[in-house]
Structure 1
Amino acid sequence: MQSTDKPALPLAGVRVLDLSRILAGPWSAMVLGDLGAEVIKVEHPRRGDDTRDWGLRVGQTETAYFNSVNRNKRSVTLDLQTDAGCAIARDLAKTSDVVIQNFKAGGAEKLGLGYDALSSDNPRLVYCSISGYDRTGPEAARPGYDLVVQGEAGLMALNGEADQPPLKFGVAAVDLFTGMYAAQAVLAALYERERTGRGRHVEMALFDCGLMITSYYGLEALIAGEDPPRYGNAHPSIVPYGVFDAQDGPLVITVGNNSQYERFCRDVIGRPDLADDPRFATNILRSQNRATLLPEIRRELAARPRRALLDRLALAGIPCGEVAGLREALTSKRAVDGGLVTTQPHPHAGTTPVLAPPWRFDGERMPVRRAPPQLGEGTDDVLKSVLGLSDDRLAALRDSGVI
């Protein structure tokens, strides 16, 4: 475990009660934890978060999937199907600044953990509900799954190659964006609370966020009145822009404007005729005539070594890069020098890799203060320090299966 007083933590003193599981909710809580909040993650005493059983095993109770969204948290086990477990959760909420939950519609209210109940005890509470669909609409009871929403929101329709079926994103993009949107909204509510003294109920839906991240593709579909074509690794409106094959491997080339295009033709591939051709004078024209232009460019690139191309592109001031494997990227000098991957001690695995938060404040990266927790590692300590429960009370709760 790493610990440091520098940099100062922006959310120091903020307590987050994370009642969520899987990905979108835990991701938003982790973001707040990365920024310095104390995050208490509530899990079932025996099963824990579902993702403790997803992917590669780490130690006895964690997996790579679980660890990717639960750094900088404590794990407290409570059986919320018991009255005593719910009572403890309500007591924790009274001492918290933020609650994040993604129960099925009506689930939190049934347990006495809904916004109305908790905010009546703690009017300053910022309460975040994450669901698959609008909680006030006819689909409120539908469970939300990233892949389903990727399909329903049109994201799969814009992803992949034109001659291939619709394709999902490599990661659960809707869940991850929803978690980031949720963290942003919580931060806004905390900021507003400084003026008003009252919290807010933030409501996030996966479908809403999935639709938002269609971005310029979505607007083009509305303006054109039809789905835009799929471009795979290419760009819909900038040419040449995408992944290309050099003589000995793939590289990314992003020619972003007309002056870059001219330098690309003259200085990189030695084809001034392509720079002078009026059919390719602007990005719009190059996009319209991509079927004519791109075969010429691909032919030139395929005849040259990748390293030589990257050097020429850099000299010409054109953004470019190799296409790295995932492990290669994570172990690259760039990642290592940036402190983006840390090694954390682990009581069973010895050590385990944990990604570092992406933010820097005043030149310092936010630290990994706590490795992803073993199931229930913080139960006794948190319930003692936050709620003042005695050892005898904790023993009784444990004997009855509540913790």
Structure 2
Amino acid sequence: MNQALSGMKVIDLSQILAGPYCTMVLADMGADVIKIEKHPKGDDTRSMGPYINEESYMYMMVNRNKRGMCINLKSDEGKQVLLELIKTADVLVENFRPGVTAKLGIDYETLKGINPALIYCSISGYGQTGPYKHKGGFDIMAQGLSGIMDMTGEKNGKPVKVGIAIHDIAAAQTAIQSILSAYIYRLKTNEGQYIDVSLVESGLAWTVWEAAAYFGKGEVAKRNGTAHRAAAPYQGFQTKDGFILIGAANQKLWETFCLKVVGKPEWLEDVRFSTNTLRSENVDDLEGLIEEVLKTNSSTYWLEILEENGIPSGPIYSYDQTLKDPHINEREMILNYEHPIAGPIHTLGFPAKLSKTPGKLSRPAPTLGQHNDEILKELGITKQLT
């Protein structure tokens, strides 16, 4: 089966998460991704547990479907191999700190002289320009600078880091869409281009509701627990034995919720809750009243009633519950494959279900330098790398 990106050749010089996640998705879509790891220890993620037979599970999670080489780019021999690869590559992805690729002689200006059609994507913490360009940037620093950390958490609590590496994944997704846009342009013109992606800006671009509130009314987004900034009730609520989510934010759903779920018609007459705007302004009072009722029965009880009455609702799962959920499993979001060293491995599935060119799990994450000889042979190089 030909996949959407069959025939695309990607050189992956990135490590940790943002870059490798980007190139993993391209590989899932059929691109030939050659992951080049630094000599002698490889991607830093290889030193992160948990381990299965001394193979890092973290590494295996974001490097499936790739071929792997281990090259010393500081040596003439290693750099020459990379330059040979660039001659036939479509895309290069790197996440060195700005300035490092120029020192290594593998920056965009140099490589486009070898391959003018090359799409070169740099992912960094703060971007290639600006006063912060040389700062080291990890996801948590991006969460702090973007304002996302300050707006996350309970109202009277400390700023809280989002539970996942949200800026890393945002940067990966931004890189993916940018690379595919550049690839479409290249198909029309045969011209490559340079792509500058930063962790900070990728996450900041997702703060659309918060930007609307600030630009439109001068409101600065603050910590609000699970509550929505402009709709209520639309948040998590405590029940007798846990927490559930309820989204009865429009007027029709609110009326149904009051009359058919909690049996509180008097709430419809309460001036504090007569409109969505007023409910949002008085969300603390509303939360207290709703939880007073919900605490009389179990989460399962309330979720069944909410579902019967067409009120959007759901559980708040722990991560193990998520991975055991029948819907998640029927949608094939957990896949299995055999790794040559680690053995049977579970991994996450493909979130987009394409009818003609679906994602495919074709090969396990490479062991360190696994495909050196294979790729050198393709390049016509008979000498082994030292």
Task: Describe the shift of the 1:37–1:353 C-alpha distance in structure 2 as closer, same or farther (beyond 3 A).
Answer: same
Contact 1:357-1:368 at 8 Å conserved across structures: no
Equivalent position SS for 1:155 = coil
d(CA) in 2 for partners of 1:134 and 1:74?
A: 28
Instruction: Show the counterpart of 2:380.
Output: 388
- The one-character-per-residue Cα deviations of 1:77-120 (angstroms, maximum 9, x if unpaired) are 10111111011011111111000011122211222211111111
Contact 1:154-1:214 at 8 Å conserved across structures: no
d(CA) in 1 for partners of 2:114 and 2:208?
A: 40
Equivalent position SS for 1:252 = strand
Is 1:54 the counterpart of 2:48 in the alignment? yes
The one-letter amino acid paired with 1:356 is G
Instruction: Show the counterpart of 1:267.
Output: 260
Pick from 102, 109, 130: which aligns with 1:109? Answer: 102
Aligned residue pair count: 386
The one-letter amino acid paired with 2:179 is V
Contact 1:31-1:180 at 8 Å conserved across structures: no
The one-letter amino acid paired with 2:17 is L
The one-letter amino acid paired with 2:380 is G
Equivalent position SS for 1:360 = coil
The one-letter amino acid paired with 1:133 is Y
d(CA) in 2 for partners of 1:106 and 1:345?
A: 39
The one-letter amino acid paired with 1:46 is P
Instruction: Show the counterpart of 1:366.
Output: 359
The one-letter amino acid paired with 2:31 is A
d(CA) in 1 for partners of 2:366 and 2:50?
A: 16
Pick from 324, 327, 340: which aligns with 1:334? Answer: 327
Is 1:216 the counterpart of 2:199 in the alignment? no
Give the Å deviation of 1:151.
0.7
Contact 2:29-2:357 at 8 Å conserved across structures: no
d(CA) in 2 for partners of 1:23 and 1:219?
A: 30
Equivalent position SS for 2:179 = helix
CA-atom RMSD in angstroms: 1.6
The one-letter amino acid paired with 1:167 is V
1:14-163 matched pairs, under 5 angstroms: 14-60=8-54, 62-163=55-156
Give the Å deviation of 1:364.
7.2
Give the Å deviation of 1:211.
2.0
The one-letter amino acid paired with 2:220 is D
- The one-character-per-residue Cα deviations of 1:133-189 (angstroms, maximum 9, x if unpaired) are 231223221111111111111111010011111111111111110010011000000
Higher RCO (CA-CA < 8 Å; seq separation 6+): 1
Instruction: Show the counterpart of 1:241.
Output: 234
Equivalent position SS for 1:313 = helix
Equivalent position SS for 2:64 = coil
Contact 1:340-1:355 at 8 Å conserved across structures: yes
The one-letter amino acid paired with 2:256 is R
d(CA) in 2 for partners of 1:51 and 1:366?
A: 24
The one-letter amino acid paired with 1:345 is E
d(CA) in 1 for partners of 2:31 and 2:351?
A: 16
d(CA) in 1 for partners of 2:100 and 2:223?
A: 40
d(CA) in 2 for partners of 1:172 and 1:209?
A: 12
d(CA) in 2 for partners of 1:155 and 1:79?
A: 38
d(CA) in 1 for partners of 2:151 and 2:18?
A: 22
Contact 2:323-2:334 at 8 Å conserved across structures: yes
Contact 2:126-2:132 at 8 Å conserved across structures: yes
Give the Å deviation of 1:226.
4.9
Contact 2:3-2:358 at 8 Å conserved across structures: no
Equivalent position SS for 2:290 = helix
Task: Describe the shift of the 1:136–1:292 C-alpha distance in structure 2 as closer, same or farther (beyond 3 A).
Answer: closer
Unaligned runs of 5+ in 1: none
Give the Å deviation of 1:319.
1.1
d(CA) in 1 for partners of 2:348 and 2:138?
A: 25
d(CA) in 1 for partners of 2:17 and 2:302?
A: 40
Equivalent position SS for 1:157 = coil
Contact 1:45-1:376 at 8 Å conserved across structures: no
Give the Å deviation of 1:365.
4.4
After TM superposition, the score normalised by the length of structure 2 is 0.96
Unaligned runs of 5+ in 2: none
Contact 2:237-2:287 at 8 Å conserved across structures: no
Equivalent position SS for 1:286 = helix
Task: Describe the shift of the 1:130–1:323 C-alpha distance in structure 2 as closer, same or farther (beyond 3 A).
Answer: same
After TM superposition, the score normalised by the length of structure 1 is 0.92
Contact 2:339-2:365 at 8 Å conserved across structures: no
- The one-character-per-residue Cα deviations of 1:346-380 (angstroms, maximum 9, x if unpaired) are 22332111112212111774221122222112221
Contact 1:242-1:253 at 8 Å conserved across structures: yes
Contact 2:37-2:68 at 8 Å conserved across structures: yes
